[in-house]
Amino acid sequence: MKKSYFPSSGNFYKGSLHCHSTVSDGRKTPEELMHLYKDMGFDFLAFTEHSQYRYYEPTAGLTVLDGVEIDVSFLSKDKYMATHHIVGIFPPGEAPEDRTQFELLEWEGIETGRKLINQIKRYNGLVIYAHPMWSLVTIEDIRALGFDMVEIYNSTCDIRYYNGDGESYVNQLLWSGEKFFYVASDDSHQRADNDFGFGWISIKAESKSKEALFNGIKNGSFYASTGPEIYDFGTTEGSFYVECSPCASIAFAAFPTAGKRYHAIDKPLTSACHPINENAKYIRAVVIDELGHKAWTQPIYFK
């Protein structure tokens, strides 16, 4: 029997959960950004200004989710400077008061990272661990912090520094038993290298209201992408299936068992199915198009 991971009804809505305007260190005003993203086909946007929450009046037909980004730096055990950057997405009606400043913390050990996250959890926010590769953290630095999501891709960190790919962190965290969702984000600052429109999530929801989108994120009813589209994924008769836009290959990853990558031969792939090993703790899939752009399903957990 086929069991889809997505809700049975609704539409897909495309958006970014991480961007900055002139209110912090971005180069475009909030209004300019909303028009920019709307013109690129986005449906929603979260402004995550550094260390402050600001309310933004929606424009250009975009839904605006309430967010913030806060951080703390620390000296790693190998004596180089690392940092935790935490993005928070707040439930509708539970965001802080407009112009709330978040506490800047001094590093006092791993508990400081948890205190950072608790500033967001205080408002029942969802926590995204941002750009782990750029932050120079180890798996030991971030395990058990209590985040809800991890950035599997960050376009600004990729375009400007070539360290926006967080998939190795995702793999190691999953192997260690952590359970979470992952997102692709722009982290847009609108600098000369055009760091916008390259990473997003698509949420399946009944509408693009703030409530419907937030609940879709909370429930994991979304996929992350830098290009391809995922129409459906789930389980059927002991296998994991994916249906997607035409692509060059579809890869399945599991643990502790091996996955497999299926390649297009005579024509592009639009679906694939892979058996689920009875020992697997989870399984997930990655869709890769001919240009190397990727889309990631969320993991399905079994143990």
CA angle 113, 115, 116 (to 5 degrees): 65
Kindly list the structural domains of the chain, giving each domain's residue range(s) and its CATH number in brackets, ordered by start. Answer: 8-226 (3.20.20.140), 227-303 (2.60.40.10)
**Collapsed DSSP state (helix, strand, coil) of residue 158:** helix
Q: Is 294 left (phi over 0), alpha (psi -120 to 50) or beta?
A: beta
In the prediction, which pLDDT does 193 show? 66
pLDDT band with cut points at 50, 70 and 90 for residue 189: confident
132-182 tens-digit pLDDT:
999 999 999 999 899 999 999 999 999 999 999 999 999 999 999 999 999
What does pTM read for this prediction? 0.96
Centre a 10 Å sphere on the Cβ of residue 277 and count the other Cβ atoms it contains: 16
- Is residue 192's pLDDT more than 70? no
pLDDT band with cut points at 50, 70 and 90 for residue 1: confident
* CA dist list (Å): 33 to 27, 28, 242, 255: 9, 6, 33, 40
Q: Is 254 left (phi over 0), alpha (psi -120 to 50) or beta?
A: beta
Tell me the DSSP string of 80-105. Answer: SEEEEEEEEEEPTT-SPPTTEEPPPP
- Is residue 64's pLDDT more than 80? yes
Alpha-carbon dihedral sign for residues 126, 166, 157, 250: negative
